[in-house]
A and B are shown apart, each in its own frame.
Chain A
Amino acid sequence: MKNLDLTHYQDFFKTYTELRIQENRSTRISFVKGHNVENSRSSNSGVSARAYSRGSWGFASTPELNDDAVKSVIQSATQNALFLDARENKGRGPLPSVPWNSENDFSTKKPRLGQKDLFEFAKELDDHIERIYPELASRVVTINTLDMEKTLVTSDGSFSHSMIPRAYVLVLMSVIKDGEPIEFYRPYGGFGQFEDVLTSPDDLFDELEQQYQDLVKKSEGIYPDAGVATCVLDAELAGILAHEAIGHTVEADMVLGGSVAGDKIGKQVASPLITLVDFANSFDGKLCPVPVFVDDEGTKAEDAVIIEEGILKNYLHNKESAVSFGVSPKGNARAFQFSDEPLIRMRNTAILPGKDRLEDMIASIDDGYYLVKPGNGQADSTSEFMFAITLGYRIKDGKITKAIKDTTISGIAFDVLQTATMVSENTHWTSSGMCGKKQPIPVGMGGPAIKCKINIGGR
């Protein structure tokens, strides 16, 4: 990323202003049934400024990265704020300030791999799948990397530089069963550049074998019975439960927009077994999948405890909403591209582990489901969430029986979490997807297995 010393431009700030240079670099290589359908790199970089005037915001951005461009976006953002201020006349006071300086560059220390190396990695994986699993009707192998590098300076004294990478290999396997395609998709990878996350195709062979075996079971799967059932949500699902069911509902802009969580601070919203935290950058002494140290408003990032032993404690804020609620922001304002304004976003949202063993949780159910792998999900202002289940099993008399077909589960989050009776001792983190809210953004999600009652789609 082109390096400009942004501190030189602070004299041009006429009002509260954030100035950010950002570059998102991505690689995408994809094989569909052995055919290389994509082999590309992209880079998107530029500078943006956001200015605040008495409750009105102005924003401007340009892909140019030079002295004139920086001065121009500061001027345009300020003019935009004044344009709105003149018409809206909100007359609000200054924003809270929690300035912080930080430098966090997670670039690999290893020699960088070229596009050819990544291409060969994907090809080798694809060749392996074709050779070992000839029964597959189709397969898709995709390498997807994203490096987000940002430099930020704010008029209230924050300065930060960060390079937050993630790297994934996404594998989709399909079989034809009774004339119908059945597919199963798994992401492999996580936080870090490709060299640090995925060292050799061989390392994935065991997991690919598991994926294939799961697909075979799923192809023999049955439709679940539609309706409310007692389920064990595997640890891989807990993160999306934390994110969709609760996390979105407690974002302060959702709360101001009427979210049902707006009346529940200090109230029991979940079983006392449930504690839910939006971690800024680390959990249990280790980095989270999407570490944030300073957010895009320049606020020092700190953990936000959302639910503590079943009691709703806090919402997630940017500077402006923190003023409305009379609290301190904890660094949840994040933007995806240089040309995006910061929005209230989750970072690494997780339910904390309990004391139960997964085997005991399954054994405790006479008739229900063990739901293992998630797909996409969605939240709601009512806290009625849904997310897709791409792998699950029927439980009969405490034992796992037949796999089920793709389905969707839903529920009113604050009701569902009241039904949680067992929480497992392990924690699983994931970060392969993007959270969508005007802009996409990488988020981390984590948690343990949970036994609860939930509505399941079926026939």
Chain B
Amino acid sequence: MEDVRNIAKNGLNSLLKAGAYKAQCRSTLVDKHEMNLELSEITLLRTTFDTSVSLMAIRDHKKGSSSINKSDVASLEQAAQEVLAIADASAPDEAYDIAERQPPKEFSAGHDSPDLDKMHLRIREFLGEIESRYPQVRIMQSYVDFTHQKECFVNSNGVDFVSSNGVYHCVFVFSSKEGDKVSSFNYTGCSLRDLENRFLDSAFLDTLLTQSVEHIYAKPLQGKFVGDVIITPQCFQDVLYFLTESLSDSALIGGTSIYKDKLHSQVASPILTIHSRPVSDEICDGYFVTRDGYAAQNSTVIDDGILNTFFLSLYGSKKTGLKRSVNDGEAFVIEPGKTHFDDMVKSVEKGVLLTRFSGGTPADSGDFSGVAKNSYLIENGKISYPITEAMISGNMADLLMDVTAVSSERTDFGFSILPYVAASGVTVSGK
């Protein structure tokens, strides 16, 4: 850990030497081993080593920052001079600040290095299973990597955190083809602490591959209706992305967040509880230190439908007069519900099982519209058929309020743990 700490301390010292009143430095060393997959082949073995040093300085309430990927003292000193020049050229803001002193701490998780032979064997096993069980499936632009990251965050108030984490990442992209019929592509990804289990058991993959084959013969949806939507764990990440953006610095400082006056108010159905747990044992790909230099803590973002916290940084907190968040969000864990997925389907008179949403970025108001990809029509409590050319539209905030069921089953993606979520009042239109 000394190498990454020395870089961060050299960066901090360079900033103070250049005249910073307050300064912080985050150094990161990333060692990555990646295997790429295309069709039935492993196409490329990629090993990359990278350094990242982020420097920030405040002088006379003016702030500057810079990032470089060099760690020698001369480069750090040159970057520090630039940071101070940037700060001097900026406008003063009393809200610029750095994290206060906290007890120094070292964090560590995961392996230090990959098992490349095992990675190769697991991928070969996966490609073999695809060939035998899903011969119509074609893998494209997919990869498995092992990323080992060492990081140090220091500031002039005495913050000194060092962390180390080793995680395997998998991203699988695929479509299916039979004759001249093609399914829409789909994808999933997960983070894994080790390679003890086959990939097919991870990240909803087996289900998504089955659906991919079924979608070779998807039919265009006809007509238009307002109905229910059951959002798969994979797809619910899009809703969480909207929520994160709406609760963040930019939306709250700009005053455009629809949740700006909703702290401790009902923003979702009482059956929905969402945690952000970056330092939980159940999340293998979280983070230990926030972007502004605090030891990250777990939080409950929405508790029985009540908004408990924003995702405000130290700066955002000072600009809005609201409390700083104890984490940067993400690492979402949604409490399981009491309804089995099969029963969720049975309760839908007419609706859509939404597996992938391909749509425009939701407006600040929460309005969204897009294509329901890899999805199914639900009629009279049964999954009817795979659909294509179906658009859905609604409002994200309304959708959260209109959640009618949360499944008892959840999918562990390594970076989040999510259930199926059902909601009402979504407009669905076809040809």
Contact = CB atoms under 8 A, between A and B. Distances in A.
Interface in B35-54: 35-36, 38-39, 41-51
B258 interface: yes
B38 to A, nearest CB: 7
Contacts of B43: 56-57
Contacts of A55: 41
Interface residues of B, number: 80
Given A32-B254, A183-B364, A380 B185 contact: yes
A46 B50 CA distance: 9
A257 B39 contact: yes
A38 B45 CA distance: 37
A387 interface: yes
Interface in B143-185: 143, 173-177, 180, 182-185
Contacts, number: 264
Given A339-B48, A386-B359, A457-B391, A256 B69 contact: no
Interface stretch (B86-94, B100-108, B201-209, B337-345): B86-94
A459 B255 CA distance: 27
B360 A183 contact: no
A57 B42 CA distance: 9
A437 to B, nearest CB: 7
Contact of A408 (B46, B51, B256, B360): B360
A260 B258 CA distance: 41
A119 B82 contact: no
Interface stretch (A12-20, A60-68, A150-158, A199-207): A60-68
10 contacts: A37-B250, A63-B70, A83-B45, A119-B91, A181-B365, A406-B363, A408-B359, A408-B391, A410-B358, A459-B393
Contact of A382 (B82, B138, B184): B184
Nearest to B34: A59
A45 interface: yes
A440 interface: no
Interface stretch (A84-92, A94-102, A298-306): A84-92
A257 B427 contact: no
Nearest to B85: A115
Given A32-B250, A123-B91, A180 B45 contact: no
B210 interface: no
A378 B358 contact: yes
Interface string B415-431: 00000000000010101
A26 B337 CA distance: 46
A40 B86 contact: yes
A428 B224 CA distance: 35
Contacts of B393: 226, 407-408, 457-459
A76 B29 CA distance: 18
Contact of A457 (B38, B64, B254, B369): B369
A256 B38 contact: yes
B73 interface: no
B175 A258 contact: yes
Closest 6 CB pairs of A and B: A388-B360, A457-B369, A116-B89, A257-B140, A226-B429, A258-B177
Interface string A331-344: 00000000101010
Contact of B359 (A60, A181, A183, A388): A388
B26 interface: no
B176 to A, nearest CB: 7
B370 A457 contact: yes
Contacts of A44: 67-69
A35 B91 CA distance: 9
Interface in B56-74: 63-70
A8 to B, nearest CB: 22
B431 A380 contact: no
Contact of A84 (B38, B45, B66, B258): B45
Nearest to A374: B360
B299 interface: no
Given A258-B177, A457-B369, 14 more contacts: A41-B82, A42-B67, A50-B44, A57-B36, A59-B45, A59-B46, A60-B46, A61-B49, A114-B89, A253-B38, A380-B373, A410-B391, A438-B143, A458-B369
B374 to A, nearest CB: 10
A80 B393 CA distance: 47
Interface in B280-335: 315, 319
A256 B69 CA distance: 36
Contacts of B250: 32, 37, 140
Nearest to A46: B69
B262 interface: no
Interface in A246-273: 253-254, 256-260, 262-263
Contacts of B70: 45, 63
B198 interface: no
B427 A226 contact: yes
Nearest to B315: A37
Contacts of B67: 40-44
A22 B249 CA distance: 33
Given A226-B393, A253-B140, A406-B367, A63 B51 contact: yes
Contact of B65 (A40, A343, A375): A40
Interface string A361-384: 000000000000001101011101
B3 interface: no
Interface string A111-152: 000111001100100000000000001111000000000000
A62 B68 CA distance: 13
B253 A406 contact: no
B389 interface: yes
B17 interface: no
Nearest to A81: B45
Contacts of B184: 380-382, 384
Interface in A374-428: 375-376, 378, 380-382, 384, 386-390, 405-408, 410-412
Contacts of A217: none
Interface string A232-254: 00000000000000000000011
B346 interface: no
B319 A457 contact: no
Contacts of A458: 369, 393, 427, 429
Contacts of B39: 256-257
Nearest to B366: A180
B120 interface: yes
A207 B249 CA distance: 28
Given A44-B69, A438-B141, A226 B391 contact: yes
Interface in A17-55: 32-33, 35-46, 48, 50, 55
A41 B319 CA distance: 23
Contacts of B361: 375-376, 388
Given A61-B48, A63-B70, A459 B141 contact: no
Contact of B138 (A81, A227, A258, A457): A258
A291 interface: no
Contacts of A43: 67-69
A156 to B, nearest CB: 19
Nearest to A377: B360
B407 interface: no
Contact of B86 (A37, A41, A183): A41
A263 B141 contact: no
B371 interface: yes
A81 B45 CA distance: 7
A349 interface: no
Contacts of A226: 224, 391, 393, 427, 429
B391 A455 contact: yes
Interface in A319-341: 339, 341
B355 interface: no
Contacts of A41: 66-67, 82, 86
